[in-house]
Each structure stands twice: as C-alpha cells, then as structure tokens.
C-alpha cells in the first residue's frame, strides 16, 4: 500500500487560512467592542476567562514566529517585526484568556510581562526557524539574557 504524502503547499494554505480566520475574528470583535464602549465594559465583567493552556501558548508562539520570519523575508526591520509579533501574541493572551496562563495559576499576568515573555519566545523560535533573519547582535543579547535567567533560578 502506498503512503499518501501531504503537499507542503496544502499545509501552508491550510495554516494560512486558519491564522487568517483567527486574526479576522479578533479584529471583528475589537471593532464591535469599540463601537459601544459602555457595553464592552459591562461584558468584560460577565466573561469568565479560561487560562491559556500549553497548546494555546504553542499556537500563539507559532503564529508569532511565522509572522516574524515572514516579515523579515519581505525586509521589515527586525525591531518592528518582532515588536508587532510580540504585541499580537500578548493581545491574544490578554483578550482571549484575560492574561491568565494555566501553568502559572490564577494570577493575571500584566500585559508588559506577557509582551516581554513573548519577545523571548519569538526570538528563540526565530533563531531556530529562520536564523538568517535574526541580526547577530539580537542573537547575542538573547543568549546573554537566557544565561542570566538561568543563573537566577
């Protein structure tokens, strides 16, 4: 019996459609909420957020890494590309999960901390997936930061 191989084009297309649907749904919900700010604040009080699971974090990380690598391929400056990718990651954690991460318990993580963590995760992923797109200076800073974090444990 012959094994059926998946076409990389089909996989890329499926992932693109999936990512686009996520982005469009988050955009449409933010547009709706901006049109009625009073209703938004009332709704937020009623919503019980479900903390982000490891699977959620993995998905958001992969989306961010893909965005960063693609942005660099079309010559977007590295600081802009990683900043936008990290802001999108932080927005997903904040808006979909209320800043809650299952592994870290019931305490809401401040947006700034989510953003900083996203920078590290995305930089790590980009160094593995598209190393030529990460400036050497940023690679060195990342390795130094990881070394310092490991010493503080």
Spell out the per-residue pLDDT of the chain, length 153, in tens: 444 444 455 445 444 444 444 444 444 333 343 344 334 444 444 468 999 999 999 999 999 999 999 999 999 999 999 999 999 999 999 999 999 999 888 889 999 999 999 999 999 999 999 999 999 999 999 898 888 888 886
Whether 65 is covered by a domain: the verdict is: yes
Looking up tokens 């938004």 gives: 40
Q: What is the DSSP string of 85-148?
A: HHHHHHHHHHHHHTT-BGGG-SSPPPHHHHHHHHHHHHHHHHHHH-GGGS-HHHHHHHHHHHHH
Whether 70 is covered by a domain: the verdict is: yes
Q: Which domain holds residue 79?
A: 49-134
Whether 85 is covered by a domain: the verdict is: yes
Q: What is the pLDDT of residue 23?
A: 43
Q: How far apart are CA 100 and CA 108, in angstroms?
A: 5
Whether 146 is covered by a domain: the verdict is: no
> What total of structural domains would you count in the chain?
1
**Count of other CB atoms within 10 angstroms of residue 99:** 20
Dig out the tokens for 66 from the structure.
């893909």
Q: What is the pLDDT of residue 27?
A: 43
Whether 73 is covered by a domain: the verdict is: yes
Answering whether pTM is above 0.75, one says: no
Whether 119 is covered by a domain: the verdict is: yes
Whether 130 is covered by a domain: the verdict is: yes
Whether 92 is covered by a domain: the verdict is: yes
In the three-class reduction of DSSP (H, G, I as helix; E, B as strand; rest coil), residue 79 is classed as helix
Q: What is the pLDDT of residue 105?
A: 84
């Amino acid at each position: 019996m012959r094994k059926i191989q998946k076409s990389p084009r089909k996989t890329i297309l499926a992932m693109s459609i999936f990512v686009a649907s996520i982005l469009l749904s988050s955009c449409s919900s933010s547009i709706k909420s901006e049109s009625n700010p009073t209703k938004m604040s009332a709704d937020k009080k009623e919503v019980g957020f479900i903390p982000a699971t490891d699977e959620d974090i993995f998905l958001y990380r992969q989306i961010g890494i893909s965005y960063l690598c693609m942005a660099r391929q079309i010559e977007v400056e590295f600081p802009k590309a990683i900043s936008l990718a990290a802001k999108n990651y932080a927005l997903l954690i904040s808006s979909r999960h209320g800043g809650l991460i299952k592994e870290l318990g019931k305490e809401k993580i401040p947006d700034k901390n989510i953003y900083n963590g996203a920078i590290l995760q995305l930089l790590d992923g980009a160094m593995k997936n598209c190393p030529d797109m990460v400036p050497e200076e940023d690679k060195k800073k990342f390795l130094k930061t990881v070394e310092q974090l490991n010493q503080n444990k």
